A and B are shown apart, each in its own frame.
Chain A
Amino acid sequence: MRRALRSFSSWVLALTASAVIVAGLAVVHGQREYTQSLQERDRLVRVRSLATDITHLTLAARLGIEPSYDRLTHATLELGDLLGESDAGWLGAMPSPRRSALMELAKSRIEVVERFKRELAVVRNSQRYLTEALAGARLEARGGAGSAELASVHADVLENLVNFDVRRRDLILDRVRELRAHFDPSGRPLSASYLTHVAFVLEHGALVGELVDEICDPALALAIDSLRTAHEQRREAIVATLGRWQIGLVLVSTLLIATLVHASLALRRSAVEMTRINHGLEETVRRRSAELAQAQKLKSIGVLASGIAHEINTPSQYVGDNLAFLRSAVDDLGRILKSYDALRLAAEKGPIPSELLSEIRATEKELDLEYLVDGMPHACASAIEGMARISKIVRAMKEFSHPGSEDKKPTDIHRAIESTITVAQNEWKYVADLVTEFDEDLGMVPCLAAELNQVVLNIIVNAAQALAEMKAGQDENPKGRIVVRTVAEEGWALISISDDGPGIPAEVQSRVFDPFFTTKAVGAGTGQGLAIAHAVVVDKHGGTLEMESEAGHGTTFRIRLPNPGTRAAGPVPAVAGVSDGANAGHDR
């Protein structure tokens, strides 16, 4: 039930989170669209005002108010920039037929403006020329040369050309024809350039008018306006969508926050729970490891027990045999003593009957008195010796399994090792010779004797097992060798235990102190032995435990215990011959 609830709430969390992301992205996208559309609007507004400017500036140029084309030119350039040359990519969001129609319009509008500029310039110049001629004609008219009427017709024509209006074109043409008719016969002809300029104004002046009309045509402005309306609608749609997404975002964010708060509360609760469980687990682990250590100890004692039984068995057997001998000897001696007693009584009464004597002789012979007398002290000695051996083992056992104390006590390390060796005798006796080389300078070392014994035992048993394995692989083999050595170092007591067994493969060396690590078959070892050794030496004694091994050359364990007795505990002395694997097994 609770599990289902939890997975449900994590689903809710994931859902709301993705909803927030979706809404957030949509809002960001909408905002980008919105800003972009604002920029587009600004540009459209600018385009619109450029279209107006162009119309106004064209009119201004036409009327001669703005004699320079600079501003008109800049306006068309900017319009061209915005709409003409490029594909007006900024209008990308708008429907493409509308867009291209607008661009087409703008482009042709710009061309018309250019045409207008150049036509106006030349028309204006011809009008200038004619203005001069007009002034001359007026002068002439006033001066009275030729008919005044003719002069006034002349002036009228010119006036009309200077202030050219297309609508009067036909009228002007008539007048020009009239003028020509007058002038031709009477002599002074109109100059060629005069007629050229008249014709020019008539033709190009009309063109200018048409161009201005085209420029003032509202088509461009209307196209822009309609695009603006479409654009406005689009922006409104964008704003509406954006608004909806924003509301959605607020909603899902609130939901997300709520879910998060809920989840964090739940998390806190479960964190408290976890700590509690954790404490419980830690407690269990502690208890378990203590149990394990105890179990290991029990196990080793169990293993040892059979060996020890065997050890005790042999001496107790011949103690028994000798006692049995002594007992029958004592019986026999009793019989002989009885016959001696009868002999003494007979002797007190008188002469000893010879049959009594021969009877005694027969008994002596029968019981082999000589043998008895000779054998008994020997049997006694044997029995005593057997008892001594038994009691040694028992003492060693007692010493070995002396219940550990909580505090370190000054301990005779050598005795402790001896008893451990003795206890383990049955383990190594058949596979190895065990040699001890004790440094007599090593006094009493403060330690937890029972636990240290356990460590030494573990290591010796390991060595013996390794040697046994090696022997099992070979047909005949001399015994291996285990050397237990102590050295009094400055501030430290060193116990080194070497064997010349098969060694530990390099790839597992680094793991030998790990708990539960074992190379033995499953069930054969707990994998705790060396881990416990490490815990005892390093953790409980503040010492060091090193292992040095090379496959094929044996293994050496070095236990160093702080030994303030000798001197203050100095730095751990350098390990001699770490890389010199050949030395392992013959530590010196």
Chain B
Amino acid sequence: MTRLLFASIACAVLVFQAIADSAAGASSDSFVSACAEPDRSLAVRAIPGRHKFDPGLVALGRKLFHDPRLSRDGTIACASCHVLAQGGDDGRPTSIGVGGASGSVNAPSVLNRAFDFRYFWNGRAATLEDQVSGPLEHPKEMASNWEHVESLLARDSDYVARFESLGIPRSPESVRTAIATFERSLITPDAPFDRYLCGDEKALPHEARAGWERFRSLGCVSCHQGVNLGGNMYERFGVFVDPSANHSSEPGMLGRFDVTGRPEDRFVFKVPSLRNVELTAPYFHDGSAATLEEAVHTMGLYQLGRDLAEDDVALLVSFLRSLTGRLPE
């Protein structure tokens, strides 16, 4: 026992040294952090307050993101399923694409995606740039293709002028960069919880603070952690419960398994970020939880192996509501 402790301490010293040497987390160059001294002992971190991306590129990305002409029949924009003012998703269990086609998974928010490690529920896209082709070419989403997009860009004088003034070619590559950069610029700072993390004790109401305690002690924070309270790891949905009873196990609904084909990856999903979670109902990859309470209760059963008391759920939900930040205009 003591030997183990000793070894642990020795190891800890070593590791600390190494960590102090190693470079700080990536992508920090493009953002200005909100508080001066982050508390390293916490698994979570306040979100940066500002970004430093090229405004011209961001504006171009914004225009592309909101342009329904990118889709085959000119009806669906990225923004149709990712409504920025409503938390960056569409509020439906599953999304409706071109011609009323409905998809099989719930649309996640596009807000704060800069801090996620991979994209889509099953993490099949490595970067936001890679991700763009997904919805654009998906037959049930925008059902479009790059030729269509390029010819649109060539016809629209405003696009021509914007690309020209940015000095970039009107290529799929540039479109991806612009949209991804725009998405990275969509951060929602100043949530009460962030202000609390930065030292403003009063920012977090009493209940929310109690919820935060529960969040940690119950172990939600083991999975929903990092800057985004999620988005930096995969996890099985249903650690203690077999989910196939209540959730579809069709191909395409099995998370990482659909990518790797390994049995241990069944129902393994990217842990979703909980930022602005109160705005993004319904919840889970299949949109099966209509309310936060339901989602939190399910989390307790599935992920923690606990049947959470109603009080705890209420406290946790009030904590989750404190994660809503300032939405981008």
Contacts and interface: CB of A to CB of B under 8 A. Distances in A.
Interface of A: 49, 52-53, 56-57, 59-60, 63, 65-71, 73-75, 77-78, 80, 85, 114-115, 117-118, 120-122, 124-126, 128-129, 163, 165, 193, 196-197, 200
Given A67-B225, A69-B232, 20 more contacts: A56-B18, A56-B19, A57-B22, A63-B15, A68-B43, A69-B233, A78-B26, A85-B126, A117-B233, A117-B234, A118-B236, A121-B219, A121-B223, A125-B303, A125-B304, A125-B305, A126-B305, A128-B219, A196-B305, A200-B305
A73 B11 contact: no
Interface string B79-93: 000000000000000
Interface in B204-228: 217-219, 221-223, 225-227
Contacts of B275: none
Nearest to B41: A67
A73 B305 contact: no
B18 A53 contact: yes
Contact of A65 (B12, B45, B221, B225): B12
20 contacts: A53-B18, A56-B14, A63-B11, A63-B15, A67-B41, A67-B221, A68-B42, A68-B43, A69-B225, A71-B24, A73-B233, A114-B233, A121-B222, A122-B235, A126-B305, A128-B217, A129-B304, A193-B306, A197-B305, A200-B240
B233 A118 contact: yes
Given A63-B11, A125-B304, A73 B226 contact: yes
Nearest to B116: A73
B168 to A, nearest CB: 22
Nearest to A85: B126
Contacts of A125: 218-219, 222, 303-305
Contact of B218 (A49, A73, A128): A128
Given A74-B26, A122-B239, A66 B19 contact: yes
Interface of B: 1, 4, 8, 11-12, 14-16, 18-19, 22, 24-27, 40-45, 117, 126, 217-219, 221-223, 225-227, 232-236, 239-240, 264, 268, 303-307
Nearest to B224: A121
Contact of A68 (B4, B217, B225, B264): B225
Enumerate the 5 nearest inter-chain pairs by beta-carbon distance, A residue then B residue, closest first. A125-B219, A67-B43, A121-B222, A56-B18, A70-B226
A71 B26 CA distance: 8
Given A114-B234, A118-B236, A53 B222 contact: no
B304 A118 contact: no
Nearest to B265: A115
Contacts of A196: 240, 305
A103 B15 CA distance: 26
Contacts of A56: 14-15, 18-19, 22
B305 A80 contact: no
A4 to B, nearest CB: 59
Contact of B235 (A59, A70, A121, A197): A121
A396 to B, nearest CB: 87
B225 to A, nearest CB: 5
B7 to A, nearest CB: 10
A128 B268 CA distance: 22
A68 B231 CA distance: 12
Contacts of B45: 68, 70
Given A74-B25, A118-B268, A65 B126 contact: no
Contact of B19 (A57, A78, A118, A200): A57
B42 A70 contact: no
A466 to B, nearest CB: 71
Contacts of B14: 56
Contacts of A128: 217-219
A530 to B, nearest CB: 65
A444 to B, nearest CB: 80
Nearest to B28: A74
A249 B222 CA distance: 63
Contacts of A163: 1, 4
B22 A67 contact: no
Given A69-B225, A128-B219, A77 B233 contact: no
A120 B225 CA distance: 13
A122 B222 contact: yes
A451 to B, nearest CB: 73
Contacts of A73: 117, 226, 232-233
* Residue from B15, B18, B24 having most chain A Cβ neighbours under 10 A: B15
Nearest to A117: B233
A84 to B, nearest CB: 9
Given A71-B25, A165-B4, A129 B306 contact: yes
Contacts of A65: 12, 15-16
A405 to B, nearest CB: 79
B18 A67 contact: no
A128 B218 CA distance: 7
Nearest to A121: B222
B305 A129 contact: yes
A114 B18 CA distance: 21
Given A52-B18, A80-B126, A63 B8 contact: yes
Given A52-B18, A122-B222, A124-B222, A70 B227 contact: yes
Nearest to B18: A56
Nearest to A78: B26
Contact of A59 (B15, B236, B264, B305): B15
Contacts of B233: 69, 73, 114, 117-118, 121
Nearest to B223: A121
Contacts of B221: 67
A118 B270 CA distance: 10
Contacts of B303: 122, 125
A63 B268 CA distance: 24
Contact of A77 (B19, B117, B223, B240): B117
B32 to A, nearest CB: 17
B325 to A, nearest CB: 18
Given A70-B232, A128-B217, A128-B219, A193 B305 contact: yes
Nearest to B42: A67
Contacts of A60: 12, 15-16, 19
A395 to B, nearest CB: 91
A60 B26 CA distance: 18
A85 B125 CA distance: 11
Contacts of A200: 240, 305
A73 B11 CA distance: 21
A73 B14 CA distance: 20
B230 to A, nearest CB: 11
A21 B126 CA distance: 46
A155 to B, nearest CB: 13
B258 to A, nearest CB: 16
Nearest to A55: B18
Contacts of B223: 118, 121
B12 A63 contact: yes
A63 B264 CA distance: 25
B47 to A, nearest CB: 12
A129 B307 CA distance: 12
Nearest to B13: A65
Contacts of B234: 114, 117-118
